[in-house]
Amino acid sequence: MIILISGASHTGKTALAQRVLENYHIPYLSIDHLKMGLIRSGLLSLTPQQDEKLTGTLWPVVREIIRTAIENHQNLVVEGIYIPEGWHLDFSSQELEEIRYCCLIMTEDYIRSHLSDIRKYADIIEKRIDDTGWTPEELAADNRRNLEMCRTYRYPYILIDHTYDVNLELTPPGNTAKALLWETVEQMFQNARSRKEEEPILEIVTDTHTYDIVYFEYGSIYLSNALDKRYGKLRELFDDLWLILEHRKILSLRIR
């Protein structure tokens, strides 16, 4: 499994990668380390502040590291800001089955109300030599762009709003497909709850039916297809859905 952790600076990418390392013993690659190694060695004639050019230069290298890890059946976490929009277009459908993506996004309310904490924990994992070149306004703008990007490409993301409670729970092989689908559904459900309105969460197209998971009032959902509609709690209906899906061919998943 390859885990990509993206997000703006100061959203906690390295801390999350460190947590995955400690909990699951999966090593991580910091794209920042790769960047500084290339710059300090003189192999790369860019400055650390040239983010757009750095992404164009670093991503082809990181992409092939990911592809090599997949071919070698290795687990790896890759974290950093230099994962471009549309990154998934560089991989085959078979390769994408081995990749899990997560973008950390702070809301503007969180940034305003937790600015001192963001500054305090900026170097909790890595001691930054100079961490003065950013402003809350720039941080908010970067997070807005990432949210728009995730919604455009339908990438999974973790929204950091009221409290900072970010973690990834990984499950052993054999139950991975169900666990990854569950995590996607659960995250979309939490995002929908914050809007307090009925809203489609996920469309699942199989070889026989299309299933819609829709957020409903009071924290429940309904699961529907052309022939059936069931109301209930998220976990219960998801387990019912999985009993159906494990005997069907899933053609596409679409986050609504």
| C-alpha closest to that of 59 among 37, 84, 38 | 84
| CA–CA distances in Å: residue 237 to residues 14, 134, 230, 242 | 35, 45, 8, 9
CA angle 68, 65, 152 (to 5 degrees): 110
Cα-based torsion angle of the residue sequence 126, 129, 133, 134 in order, rounded to the nearest 10 degrees? 20
The Cα 194–Cα 105 span in angstroms is: 15
Please list the ranges in the chain whose pLDDT falls under 50. 124-126, 128-130, 172-174
> Percentages helix, strand, coil for the chain, rounded to the nearest 5?
45, 20, 35
Rounded Cα–Cα distance for residues 73 and 76 (Å)? 10
Q: What is the pLDDT of residue 244?
A: 74
**Helix, coil or strand: residue 141:** helix
Distance CA 42, CA 59 (A): 18
Token pair recorded at residue 165: 């409670």
First-to-last CA distance in the chain? 25
* pLDDT digits 0-9 by tens, 169-219: 665 444 566 776 777 777 777 776 666 566 677 777 777 778 787 777 655
Among 110, 39, 28, 32, CA closest to 76: 28
Cα(122)–Cα(120) distance, integer angstroms: 6
What is the Cα–Cα distance from 206 to 189, expressed in whole angstroms?
A: 21
Contact 95, 72 (CB under 8 A): no
Looking at residue 83, its pLDDT comes to 94
